[in-house]
């Protein structure tokens, strides 16, 4: 039987106690499993010809190199953007970078599915791409946008050419991927960038709403002096039209105000007649109430002194009737007085009432 110490030494022969089988294997070398120019022979399983696969892998690797370059260009401008639109462009560049990153995976997976080998390293990408290499220095925002738009233009033109070729070879899936993913994303991003460079003063204007001094298509360009004079004439014409419109509106408003004043005066005259009637009736009932209450009080005093001569019931009923009549007339006087104050009357009548 082998001693335990000898078995332990075979497993761990080093003096420091590290097993040789667990040590990492460094500096390994091996031959490549697939050449860059070769394809995996499964075109029969994909129902595609070898020519279609070879052609698609070739221009998809070109598209992958251009997309990787555009992706890194967005990241460069994302880091180096400056100016008053920093926040907006900083976020826009980052968004476009993420979309280009997703396109890189889509294109690379299609290349591997067709049996090819993807271009991956920066040196290989820089050698293969058709997008011009940007400088290391920081550029201004207009230069950044122009450089990105040029890159998008190159990719869109190549995408249309490659998609038509793939469709002719029967590789409709590559055609759909190029049109539905690569072309659509690049066109949208180019649109967003181009709007940042649009100059509103040179935008096309319909002929019906053409600005003063602008030149229509097909007409000879006029000199600055003639354009200025034409602009002044149109401006003066607009001023005259606006002045006539304002005068017409002013006369209409003045006529309406005079009509309202006449209606108000007629209403005041009608209201003054009702007001005068309410005032007179209020005064009559007021003094009638005063008189009734005075008579009732006089009868009360008279009955106290002549209680034996006059029947008490007659005096009591008479005082009660007079008191009720006085109260009723006082209430009517108050009601008519409130109606008179609420009725429309001329200012002179009301001022005279309150002064009295």
User: Around Cβ 93, how many Cβ atoms within 10 Å?
Assistant: 22
Mean pLDDT of 32-50: 74
Which carries the bigger pLDDT value, residue 46 or residue 91?
91
Mean pLDDT of 155-175: 94
Using the predicted structure, report yes or no on whether residue 271 has a pLDDT greater than 70: no
The model's pTM is: 0.51
**According to the model, what pLDDT value does residue 134 have?**
92
Torsion of CA 250, 256, 261, 264, to 10 degrees: -150
Which carries the bigger pLDDT value, residue 297 or residue 197?
197
Using the predicted structure, report yes or no on whether residue 80 has a pLDDT greater than 70: yes
Compute the distance between CA of residue 230 and CA of residue 208 in angstroms, rounded to an integer: 16
* Residue 278 near residue 343 (C-beta atoms within 8 A): yes
* Residue 50 near residue 43 (C-beta atoms within 8 A): yes
**According to the model, what pLDDT value does residue 270 have?**
62
Category of 351 on φ-ψ map: left (φ > 0), alpha (ψ -120 to 50) or beta: alpha
How would you class 90 by CB atoms within 10 Å of its CB: exposed for 0-12, middle for 13-18, buried for 19 or more? middle
Compute the distance between CA of residue 155 and CA of residue 59 in angstroms, rounded to an integer: 11
**According to the model, what pLDDT value does residue 202 have?**
42
Residue 5 is encoded by which pair of tokens?
A: 């110490």
Convert the pLDDT of each residue in 153-162 to its tens digit. Answer: 999 999 999 9
Mean pLDDT of 13-32: 68
Which carries the bigger pLDDT value, residue 282 or residue 18?
282
Compute the distance between CA of residue 137 and CA of residue 147 in angstroms, rounded to an integer: 14
- Percentage of the chain beyond pLDDT 90 is 37
Convert the pLDDT of each residue in 230-252 to its tens digit. Answer: 666 666 666 666 666 666 666 77
**According to the model, what pLDDT value does residue 218 have?**
47
Which carries the bigger pLDDT value, residue 287 or residue 221?
287
**According to the model, what pLDDT value does residue 353 have?**
43
Average pLDDT, the chain: 76
Compute the distance between CA of residue 172 and CA of residue 179 in angstroms, rounded to an integer: 10
Could you give the C-alpha distances from 146 to 30, 137, 140, 195, 333, in angstroms and in order?
A: 45, 16, 10, 12, 92
First-to-last CA distance in the chain? 143
* Residue 162 near residue 63 (C-beta atoms within 8 A): yes
Model confidence at 212, pLDDT cuts 50, 70, 90, reads very low
């Amino acid at each position: 039987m082998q001693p335990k110490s000898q078995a332990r030494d075979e497993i761990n022969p080093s003096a420091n106690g590290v097993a040789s089988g667990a040590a990492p294997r460094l500096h390994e070398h091996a031959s490549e499993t697939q050449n860059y120019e070769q394809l995996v022979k499964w075109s029969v399983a994909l129902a595609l010809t070898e020519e279609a696969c070879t052609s698609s892998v070739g221009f998809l690797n070109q598209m992958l190199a251009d997309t990787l370059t555009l992706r890194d260009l967005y990241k460069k401008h994302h880091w180096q953007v400056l100016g008053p639109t920093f926040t907006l462009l900083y976020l826009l560049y980052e968004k476009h970078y993420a979309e280009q990153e997703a396109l890189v995976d889509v294109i690379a997976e299609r290349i591997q599915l067709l049996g090819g080998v993807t271009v991956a390293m920066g040196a290989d990408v820089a050698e293969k791409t058709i997008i011009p290499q940007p400088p290391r220095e920081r550029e201004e925002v207009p230069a950044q946008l122009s450089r990105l738009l040029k890159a998008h233009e190159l990719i869109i033109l190549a995408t249309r050419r490659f998609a038509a070729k793939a469709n002719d070879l029967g590789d409709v899936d590559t055609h759909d991927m190029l049109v539905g993913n690569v072309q659509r994303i690049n066109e949208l991003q180019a649109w967003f960038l181009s709007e940042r460079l649009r100059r509103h003063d040179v935008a096309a204007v319909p002929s019906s709403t053409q600005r003063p001094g602008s030149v229509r298509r097909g007409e000879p360009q006029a000199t600055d002096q003639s354009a200025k004079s034409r602009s002044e004439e149109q401006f003066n014409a607009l001023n005259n039209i606006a002045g006539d419109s304002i005068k017409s509106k002013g006369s209409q408003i003045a006529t309406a105000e005079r009509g309202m004043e006449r209606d108000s005066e007629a209403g005041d005259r009608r209201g003054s007649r009702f007001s005068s009637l309410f005032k007179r009736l209020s005064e009559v009932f007021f003094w009638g109430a005063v008189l009734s209450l005075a008579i009732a009080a006089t009868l009360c005093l008279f009955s106290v002194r002549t209680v034996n001569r006059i029947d008490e019931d007659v005096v009591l009923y008479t005082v009660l009737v007079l008191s009720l009549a006085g109260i009723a007339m006082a209430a009517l006087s108050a009601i008519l007085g409130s109606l008179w104050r609420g009725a429309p009357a001329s200012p002179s009548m009301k001022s005279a009432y309150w002064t009295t």
